[in-house]
Amino acid sequence: MLPSFDLFGFSLPTYSVCVAIGILMALLLALFRNKSPRFQTSNTDIFYTIIFCVIGALIGAKVLHITGVIIRDGHTSDFWTVQNWSNVLKGVGIFYGGLIGGLLAALFYIKKFKLNFSEVTDILIPSVLVAHTFGRIGCFFAGCCYGIKENWGIAFFHSQIAPNDIPLIPIQLFEAGFNVILLIAILSLRPENKRPGILLPLYLLCYSVARFILEFWRGDIGRGIFILSTSQWISLVIFPVAVLLFFSKINQEHKTLFLQKP
């Protein structure tokens, strides 16, 4: 675990550095992918869409985090104290909140400036995977979002978040690994070339399943209600929506091919 490190006399939080690197790499990948002659969106619009995504993600992650804390602990006597809220606001946030907030912010920009939604999402989904991968690596270094106890796990020392001196499953790295595998598959197979707009529902479908499964090995407490975690409940909502979007894209392509027949 490396929650912070020194650089030129300054102590930098490793998580924030990883997130910053992830956003930069995501931007570079999006601009590189946008060089394809198939895409007609300007680099300027891609840049500003990502900026909107980042702002929306930061707000969404924090809002969902605070909402979850209020639902979980709002009934306790010391919840509304200044000290407790100071600790609550220090929390980074929940990824699903960031994902939803980022998508809504991107949708706002796309609608505002009349961009091609399918094209923009095809460009940006790999970038989402890159940013999320670096974010989870940052989680591992910070000791947050840790896994359950397991003999073959990795023990943290001097952590202010995870239990110390106890081997824990590095579930953060497992999720980062899933993102990398899905990213490689998308960049190799390029399904968007045959089915424009398919990457968003494909990503939501794959990630909702993976996240639902990975949640069973999360060890941080107080993360859900009614047996399942908050992220598992959200996965259960996103999965059918993703399935509907996925098949609607396929049906849309079939209709287009039918109309093009002489």
Number of domains forming the structure of the chain: 1
DSSP state of 10: E
The pLDDT value recorded for residue 86 is 63
For the chain, count helices (H), then strands (E): 8, 4
Query: For 19-26, what is the mean pLDDT?
Result: 96
Q: In 10 A of CB 38, how many CB atoms?
A: 13
The pLDDT value recorded for residue 209 is 97
The verdict on residue 80 lying in a domain is yes
The verdict on residue 90 lying in a domain is yes
The verdict on residue 140 lying in a domain is yes
- Model confidence at 93, pLDDT cuts 50, 70, 90, reads confident
The verdict on residue 238 lying in a domain is no
The pLDDT value recorded for residue 260 is 47
CA 153/CA 168 separation, integer angstroms:
4
CA 144/CA 146 separation, integer angstroms:
5
The per-residue b/e assignment along 244-258, b for 16 or more CB within 10 angstroms, e otherwise, is ebbeebeeeeeeeee
The pLDDT value recorded for residue 145 is 87
More confident residue, 256 or 157: 157
The pLDDT value recorded for residue 7 is 77
Q: In 10 A of CB 141, how many CB atoms?
A: 18
The pLDDT value recorded for residue 259 is 46
Residue 262 has pLDDT above 60, yes or no: no
Residue 212 has pLDDT above 80, yes or no: yes
Tell me the average pLDDT of the chain. Answer: 87
Q: What is the pTM of this model?
A: 0.89
Query: For 209-224, what is the mean pLDDT?
Result: 86
The verdict on residue 241 lying in a domain is no
The pLDDT value recorded for residue 144 is 86
Question: For the segment 36-68, what is each residue's pLDDT rounded down to a tens digit?
Answer: 989 999 999 999 999 999 999 999 998 888 877
Helix (H, G, I), strand (E, B) or coil at 86: helix
The pLDDT value recorded for residue 72 is 67
Question: For the segment 110-146, what is each residue's pLDDT rounded down to a tens digit?
Answer: 999 999 999 999 999 999 999 999 999 999 998 888 9
More confident residue, 255 or 199: 199
Residue 256 has pLDDT above 80, yes or no: no
Contacting residues for 168 by C-beta, under 8 A, at least 6 apart: 146, 147, 148, 149, 150, 153, 154, 155, 156, 162, 219
Question: What is the extent of the structural domain holding 109?
Answer: 4-190
| Cα-based distances in Å from 9 to 12, 15, 18, 20, 137 | 9, 18, 19, 19, 24
The verdict on residue 58 lying in a domain is yes
Percent of the chain with pLDDT over 70: 85
The verdict on residue 227 lying in a domain is no
Residue 73 has pLDDT above 70, yes or no: no
Query: For 155-182, what is the mean pLDDT?
Result: 91
Residue 193 has pLDDT above 80, yes or no: yes
More confident residue, 10 or 114: 114
Q: Across the strands, what pairs with 29?
A: none
The verdict on residue 176 lying in a domain is yes
The pLDDT value recorded for residue 230 is 86
| Residue 217, burial from CB neighbour count under 10 angstroms (0-12, 13-18, 19+) | middle
